[in-house]
Structure 1
Amino acid sequence: MSLKLGLPFAAGILAADQISKWWILEVLRLPERFQVRLVDLGAVGFDLTMVWNRGVTFGLLAGDSPWHRIGLAVLALAVVALLLRWLARAENRLSALALGGIIGGAIGNVIDRLRFGAVVDFADFRIGSFHWYVFNVADAAIVLGVAALIADALFRPGRTAKETP
């Protein structure tokens, strides 16, 4: 049951991620424009800002060599393989959806890394002069998936003594 729920969700996240990046690059042509202001409420706003992330989360482990991007892609695919195994054993719908979101997001960013040598990031929220890290649909799916897994682990009703092996 978990694969039947998680894999289509992963495919949906992957499709949404790649379509949004195609639109950002090919239709909006954000690399040429750099930034498009969408919401400006003075102290709060949302912009589309072009960032090529050559690292992993928050730009860590950034590098420009072809071996670097291949290495990060292989590492991400190894993590996806472990997550697929976990997904096959997921105990509930929340875990299956969370793992599917993480898997779809990770694959979306791997595709970018192999195609462009960097991940396409564009969503830029700001409050005053504070800007959160610029991200994409895949990043959002990964973060929300991890948060859902943590919430599930912390708040799922515990097993009774009779259920424990």
Structure 2
Amino acid sequence: MPAPFQGRSLTLGLAVAVLSAIADQVHKYWSLHVFDIANNGPLDWTPFLRIVLVWNRGVSYGLFQQNSEFGRWALISFRLFAVLLLVVWLARITSRTGAVAIGLIIGGAIGNGIDGVLYGAVADFFLFHVGTFEWYVFNVADIAIVAGVALLLYDVVLNKDPGTTRS
């Protein structure tokens, strides 16, 4: 059994986490400070995708909205705690697919956590819609988290590769 906090899967997962957090923050910086979506948006990119700016002071789907400094820092602490637990899980996983999946989730949580520290809320931009029906607004970090969860489910449920072992 590999020692904790070392190995190729850990390195792969952490690299994916860093890259996904960077991609999220680069997109947010460009949208907020270069394109200046607050003054230049919203923008209909396709007939079903609108680029907007929504500040989410909660978690996924706008749950647990926080308007106080205590609530803001409670959510930041929650994200940090989740990242630490995910890093421990990542250190124990031997599946490359699982390492990528957990790395995506970690990177997304870090990207949204950075927003909480910098802005007091998470910046969301992408709004899918069909006619008057609108889906929730999300960002690159949310895409990484959802992709990571889907990949993790694939790895746990459907990946029958005999070379893949889990501790």
**Aligned counterpart in structure 1 of residue 138 of structure 2, from 130, 135, 143:** 135
**Aligned counterpart in structure 1 of residue 16 of structure 2, from 6, 9, 13:** 9
CA positional deviation for 1:158: 8.4
SS in 2 for 1:61: coil
- Structure 1 runs of 4+ off > 4 angstroms? none
1:104-142 per-residue CA deviation (whole Å, 9 max, x = no partner) reads 110010010111110000011112222111100000100
**Aligned counterpart in structure 2 of residue 55 of structure 1, from 53, 58, 82:** 58
CA positional deviation for 1:63: 1.4
Aligned residue identity for 1:143: V
The yes-or-no answer on 1:29 pairing with 2:31 is no
CA positional deviation for 1:91: 2.1
Q: Which runs of 5+ in 1 are unaligned?
A: none
Larger mean CA deviation between 90-99 and 122-131 belongs to 122-131
For the aligned residues, what is the CA RMSD? 1.9
In 2, Cα distance between the equivalents of 1:88 and 1:63? 32
Q: Matches of residues 109-148 of structure 1 in structure 2 within 5 Å?
A: 109-148=112-151
SS in 2 for 1:132: strand
Query: What TM-score comes out, normalization by structure 1 length?
Result: 0.90
In 1, Cα distance between the equivalents of 2:152 and 2:10? 16
Q: Which runs of 5+ in 2 are unaligned?
A: 1-7
In 1, Cα distance between the equivalents of 2:41 and 2:71? 25
Task: Report what 2:88 is aligned to.
Answer: 85
Q: How many residues align?
A: 158
Task: Report what 2:4 is aligned to.
Answer: none
Task: Report what 2:5 is aligned to.
Answer: none
